[in-house]
Structure 1
């Protein structure tokens, strides 16, 4: 907790103490109080006890260690794409995805004074989502670990030439003035979060449409990816996400992060996954969970 700016520490300590009393209700998130992940936890899991964590790894470890029942982690943004490192962290965490949540992202420029501003602190993802706004005003983007932490840092600095881009709630928490609302470049900007827990959901217990998420690595043979994916097409399984990423420095091991609509136990899904297994070095299931937003 020593890594948080001073204005955030009291809030972090209070929330951590509440979570420690009832860890089963605790939901770990990355960021300081007032971050978008804090908002997502409160909206997706009403009645939870949000537990701020300084990094994604800390949030995942809180669940693994039993200090929180669940974690909520951003995985992708409609404007800025994949959240850095998440595709590596999720498979290695040993946790299971048990839910998803889509959060509309609205950010505000906030500061201790009225400007003009030479720089604005925020998470790199938020800076990327507001790059046109910042460039038009000659404000230099300055990276910080999370959006609300940036707001707390600006409050701590007390420098009237510095601003933060963060959710509006952060201005209320840290005593900053909102200079301008909705500074994101795309007003339909949305972040997809996933909820993680130590135990997976039994697919048979999910009523209604579901998403299954997994990662796989294909064998180094011609047309391996084409063959690996063929089973989903021939069995009519809707693949809503396929994203590649490199593991290691050799550039020889390409892994794929995949979402499909359906659950293991469904004959079509089972046949598709069985065919995938013939052409993959490994397939690691990350979870099956209720579909929160229709794809298509």
Structure 2
């Protein structure tokens, strides 16, 4: 080796050692700052408990949304805004768990996309409880057994989840937040599976629909069997030699399955929106949405009367769905999402105008728009 090469290598090694020392120093600073933040969270808990020992609220969705939006706006890079927000989400989750752990019910079982959405919204330190049905998630929240619930509301390719919409009609639960999850479906199998002999595919009916074209092209002769959840599909194939499942990555980890093919969904932009439900109303965050359920009288111009106030007062409607009413044949209720919070003047005027012509107007909740 030449002297010049040795000199260059020595300089590179010296520079690396210096950079590692700098990283160690920065890590120490980060450690101290996170510890200071956790101690501050302790003080917040003490103040809240002193002010109202019986009804202290530790998790404020609007406050969390404000913090994450501020972090993303101030992010200098090189990490992407969403990556930085996810890091802070986990710091906030750990600090909040140190104050008082949050308990959340979700549509189970373990390994579903709803569990992934729960962890995405609340962080890894949340105490999550799987429930077998959407209405049972609502009941757990209503009974106070958990503080919040997470339920699916719509998929970008397969449409709304009607069971969730119908449950809102009879429930007094509030919508407290939303989270959108990019849905990646994977074909997976167990250690005993003979991969060239797969004759059946298990999955939830919506997942099978989302992967229809891929299955037609790559596994046209395999029987498609719809089950209650993707997690159940993953669990079934553990002991079978001729079957595979379509599910999310979390299911493969929980049930020790190998992913044979990744991202088998037909639409690369496939995503599902989930709602966070709770018992308390949420204050304004500055970037909010509101959801309503409106029952209109069966008369000429009913739809016009429904839409007119939104145009008149400049409120941006983002979603309109109709569902058969539970109280009579051939009557319908409308589920509406729009931009804004009920504390805003133009929203209040819109609601007041709607109530003049509608048979019933029920505000399901005003809540922060999904941040990450």
| Both structures adopt the same fold (TM-score exceeding 0.5) | yes
Separation in 2, partners of 1:236, 1:108 = 43
Please give the alpha-carbon distance, in whole angstroms, between the structure 2 residues aligned to 1:278 and 1:250.
Answer: 21
Question: Of 266, 281, 294, which residue of structure 2 is paired with 1:200?
Answer: 281
**Structure-1 residue corresponding to 2:114:** 37
Summarize deviations over 1:158-210 as a string: whole Å, max 9, x none.
22222111111211211222111111111111110110011221xxx322111
Q: Is 2:211 aligned against 1:130?
A: yes
Aligned mates of 1:165, 1:85 — CA distance in 2: 23
3-state secondary structure, aligned to 2:187: strand
Higher relative contact order (CA 8 A, sep 6+): 1
User: Higher strand proportion, which one?
Assistant: 1
> Match for residue 361 of structure 2?
283
RMSD over aligned CA atoms reads: 1.9
Unaligned runs of 5+ in 1: 1-21
Q: Counterparts in 2 of 1:108-187, with a 5 A limit?
A: 108-112=186-190, 113=193, 114-136=195-217, 137-138=219-220, 139-155=222-238, 158-187=239-268
Which range moved further: 143-152 or 229-238? 143-152
User: How many pairs are equivalent?
Assistant: 268
Structure 1 range deviating more: 187-196 or 64-73: 64-73
The structure that has the greater radius of gyration is 2
Q: Which has the higher helix share?
A: 2
- TM-score, normalised via structure 1 length: 0.85
2:315 match: 237
For the 8 Å contact 2:296–2:332, the answer to whether it is kept is yes
Are positions 1:90 and 2:168 aligned together?
A: yes
Between 265-274 and 33-42, the greater mean CA deviation after superposition: 265-274
Q: Matched residues in 1 for 2:226 and 2:289: separation? A: 33
Is contact 1:110–1:164 with CA below 8 Å preserved after alignment? Answer: yes
Matches within 5 A, 1:246-285: 246-248=324-326, 251-285=329-363
Q: Aligned partners of 1:260, 1:224: CA distance in 2, in Å? A: 19
